[in-house]
Amino acid sequence: MKLKKKADAFLPTRFGKFRVFAFVEDGGKEHLALVRCSHRPHKSIPVRVHSRCLTGDTLTSLRCDCRDQLEASLRYLERKKCGMLIYLDQEGRGIGLANKIRAYALQDRGMDTIEANVHLGFGEDLRDYSAAAAILKYFKVKDISLLTNNPKKIKDLEKHGIRVVERIPLVTKMNRYNRKYLETKRKKMKHLL
């Protein structure tokens, strides 16, 4: 995976001050790293690897728990001297925004998220965390405490040379719109909810 840092700047947020770094893959995907401290190389730090969810993160959809996880992660990092949030360009578990909306329509007819993705010709989860590993390596981070409920994310990062020394659970509230989504994550994808 070829990844190049394109820009960085100061980014004050509702959750504290960060330095934001923009990275671009050869294929054109753009990823961000919000970094809470500036010294390098880093020892083990708390990290959230978050896949883009325009409908949840930006449009505040209640169909998922993405925005809740993002905000919980930022609140957690706000209390730490050092930490990082990596925001990956892989919408809809890697199937893209338009296909995610197509999957929503199938879910409206009774399918769960995995059944909808498979019906559209995709795997249950096409996300790849090699870009996150490359970003961590850019900052010379080898050991992390990962904010996640997803065991696949842990395995994938470790496959790419990042050691996850601790898993920090992200507990979010269930609502009537995301109940089936969360149950599918727990039962079929083995998320640690």
Catalytic residue, from 57, 65, 125, 156: name it: 125
Q: Identify the pLDDT of residue 137.
A: 94
Q: Which candidate, 62, 17, 31, 55, places its Cα nearest to that of 135?
A: 31
DSSP-derived 3-state class of residue 188: coil
pTM of structure: 0.93
Catalytic, 125? Answer yes
pLDDT category at 38 given cuts 50, 70, 90 is low
Summarize pLDDT for 110-151 with one digit per residue, the tens.
Answer: 999 999 999 999 998 999 999 999 999 999 999 999 999 999
DSSP-derived 3-state class of residue 153: helix
Catalytic residue, from 65, 127, 156, 179: name it: 127
Catalytic, 127? Answer yes
Pick 180 or 40 by higher pLDDT.
Answer: 180
Q: Identify the pLDDT of residue 19.
A: 95
In whole angstroms, how far apart are CA 121 and each of 86, 99, 103, 138, 161? 28, 10, 11, 35, 31
